[in-house]
Amino acid sequence: MTEKSPAGDVEAGLLAHLNSAGEVSDSRSFASSLGVSHAELEGVIKSLSAFRIVDSTDITKETWVLTEEAKGYAARGSPEAQLVAAIPPEGASKDALKAKLGEAFDVGMKAAARNKWIGFEKGNKDLVLRKVENVKDELQDQLKRLENGEVVPDKVIDDLKRRKLITKEKSIWYSLKKGPEFVIKRKTLATDVTTEHLRSGDWKDLEFKDYNYGAQGQPIAKGYAHPLLEVREEIQNIFIKMGFTEMPTNNFVESSFWNFDALFQPQQHPARDSHDTFFLNAPAATKQLPEDYLEKVKQVHQSGGYGSKGYGYDWKRDEAEKNLLRTHTTAVSTRMLYKLAQEKPFAPKRYYSIDRVFRNEAVDRTHLAEFHQIEGLICDYGLTLGDLIGVLEDFFSSLGMSKLRFKPAYNPYTEPSMEIFSYHDGLKKWVEVGNSGMFRPEMLLPMGLPDGVNVIAWGLSLERPTMILYGIDNIRDLFGPKVDFNLIKSNPLCRLGLQ
Ligand code: PHE
């Protein structure tokens, strides 16, 4: 702080006054005696109090202050007085008055009529006549008095409140005394040794400011994990704790064969329509498919086998070769199960994946054309629907969803199939959280998995639990070009829900 700065002057003025008079009873009047705003003096008081150079006591009071509108009336007159003043002896049309008064016109007309200051010409409602010579503008007087801090009767306050011309404001000011560390002029403490100090040699006499070890550091510029990544990691940890191994999901482009046919999904199934699936133009068809297995898949679709009647239609290789952007990660599960079936002897497995899938859907608050799917499966001898329910209860309760309900559903590749619902305490309702089932023998036996081996599996989107956990209700706020980076930066590190 140098002597020349205005704040320095204010500080010097205040300390000199305290030194001679011993106190300041009201910082507001002291500020006006110094010719500075109270806010400026307040800054100086705060700084001096922090060093106990002065002791301050708060004085708080609620006062009525004029609204912007009222300030205009205090300066130029009330709308009703302005209106009367604008009417010439021969009267004026409403339009002319409106043009003159602007916003004050409507209020002015009403109040002036109530006061019987104006009237209308007989038979001509448009011509406004002035009924009084001079008006006494009480409203303006009252507003001016309030502005000057004078006391006005309660009835007037009530009236001004009703007209929304005043609002209550809490003001705070201070009474001041010398503090235990009082000095007439405080010594400026140095915060740094500069080249200037070294050159002039005055570093020898400098007093340095103490380090403030309690001060908060600057926020560090760093990367932030997206909510989807955070939730993905937590779900990965749940799978790993439950003994699952991750499946490789690095191929977004898949053939219809692995995405649909191997899953016993008939070729005329509506989900294969280009309205639901993105097909590739180039390369349009896959080059390689396992021929032996393909033959078995064809047979089971056409005429059944393994205890199934099949679908009884003419299965086409062309259709199976069509490339697409995978519509579910169950395509990956299929590949992995086929691979597992080739390994002899059979060993049970628990697999999971979390990655992107694509659907040709209309984009809205809850749907995007691409999203992330979480998929889990267990392949072992003698698994039952009871095992599936038990595993789902373990999995979802680790996610903080312990109340589950199951509803029978249909998937071409599972039988039985169940939709999974969870009770959401925040939303106070049951919400659908996933889909599940036991893979059909028509899918597993052609792969070469041994008789008696079952697969229980389930899938859900990563977006759904993330939106519930983060309280986001529009998927476009979570994923895509409209995501607000500040939202990602300010996300809490820990949330309730996931344990
Ligand atoms: N593939 C299903 C879907 O996309 C999810 C699912 C996976 C269902 C495994 C049953 C078994 O919704």
DSSP symbol at 272: G
**Stronger pLDDT, 362 or 315, i.e. the higher one:** 315
Which amino acid makes up residue 420?
I
Cα pseudo-dihedral 170, 171, 172, 175, rounded to 10: -130
Question: Tokens 């021969």 map to which residue?
Answer: 90
Model confidence over 205-245: pLDDT tens digits? Answer: 888 888 889 999 888 888 888 999 989 999 999 999 999 99
Report the nearest-CA residue for atom 4 of ligand 1: 328
Report the nearest-CA residue for atom 6 of ligand 1: 459
Ligand 1 atom with the smallest distance to the CA of 329 is 1
214 Cα–ligand 1 center, Å: 53
| pLDDT tier for residue 319 given thresholds of 50, 70 and 90 | very high
- Res 356: pLDDT: 96
- The H or E element spanning position 453 is strand 453-461
Percent above pLDDT 70 for the chain: 97
Q: Which residues line ligand 1 (CB under 6 A)?
A: 328, 330, 375, 411, 414, 435-437, 457-459
Predicted confidence (pLDDT) at residue 149 exceeds the cutoff of 80:
no
Predicted confidence (pLDDT) at residue 496 exceeds the cutoff of 70:
no
CB 30 within 8 A of CB 41: yes
CB atoms within 10 A of CB 189: 10
Burial of 279 (0-12, 13-18, 19+ CB in 10 A): middle
Report the nearest-CA residue for atom 8 of ligand 1: 436
| pLDDT tier for residue 4 given thresholds of 50, 70 and 90 | very low
Residues 319-344 as b or e (16 or more Cβ within 10 Å = b): ebbbbbbbbbbbbbbbbbbbebbeee
Give the separation between CA 52 and CA 352, rounded to whole angstroms: 64
Residues 20-30 as b or e (16 or more Cβ within 10 Å = b): eeeebeebbeb
281 Cα–ligand 1 center, Å: 26
436 Cα–ligand 1 center, Å: 6
- Res 495: pLDDT: 63
Ligand 1 pocket mutation, candidates 244, 260, 328, 356, criterion most atoms within 8 A of CB: 328
- Residues 224, 229, 231, 233, CA torsion sign: negative
Percent above pLDDT 90 for the chain: 62
Structure tokens at 105: 């016109």
Model confidence over 54-103: pLDDT tens digits? Answer: 999 999 988 889 999 899 999 989 999 999 999 998 888 899 999 988 88
374 Cα–ligand 1 center, Å: 9
- Which strands, in side-by-side order, build the sheet including 54-66? 23-24, 166-178, 54-66
295 Cα–ligand 1 center, Å: 25
Structure tokens at 177: 């005394």
Predicted confidence (pLDDT) at residue 3 exceeds the cutoff of 70:
no
How large is the average pLDDT for residues 486-497?
73
Ligand 1 pocket mutation, candidates 411, 418, 444, criterion most atoms within 8 A of CB: 411
* CA proximity to 385, closest of 315, 437, 431: 437
CB atoms within 10 A of CB 294: 18
Report the nearest-CA residue for atom 5 of ligand 1: 459
Structure tokens at 12: 């010097």
pTM over 0.75: no
- Res 217: pLDDT: 87
List, in order, residues 6 or more apart from 21 with CB less than 8 Å away: none
256 Cα–ligand 1 center, Å: 16
Give the separation between CA 392 and CA 399, rounded to whole angstroms: 11
Report the nearest-CA residue for atom 10 of ligand 1: 436
Name the H helices within 361-499.
385-398, 441-447, 463-470, 485-489
Give the separation between CA 253 and CA 356, rounded to whole angstroms: 11
- Res 498: pLDDT: 53
Predicted confidence (pLDDT) at residue 2 exceeds the cutoff of 50:
no
SS3 176: strand
CB 407 within 8 A of CB 421: yes
Residue 444 half-sphere exposure toward CB, CA atoms < 13 A: 21
How large is the average pLDDT for residues 140-153?
87
DSSP symbol at 179: -
CB 71 within 8 A of CB 191: no
Model confidence over 18-44: pLDDT tens digits? Answer: 999 999 999 999 998 999 999 999 999
| Residues, the chain | 499
- Res 499: pLDDT: 43
441 Cα–ligand 1 center, Å: 16
Predicted confidence (pLDDT) at residue 8 exceeds the cutoff of 80:
no
CB 307 within 8 A of CB 441: yes
- For residue 481, give Cα distances in angstroms to 232, 414, 478, 484, 485: 20, 36, 9, 9, 10
- Res 497: pLDDT: 57
Model confidence over 422-468: pLDDT tens digits? Answer: 887 777 888 888 999 999 999 999 999 999 999 999 999 999 888 87
- Residues 349, 352, 357, 362, CA torsion sign: positive
- Res 494: pLDDT: 66
329 Cα–ligand 1 center, Å: 8
- Res 150: pLDDT: 81
Model confidence over 337-348: pLDDT tens digits? Answer: 999 999 999 999
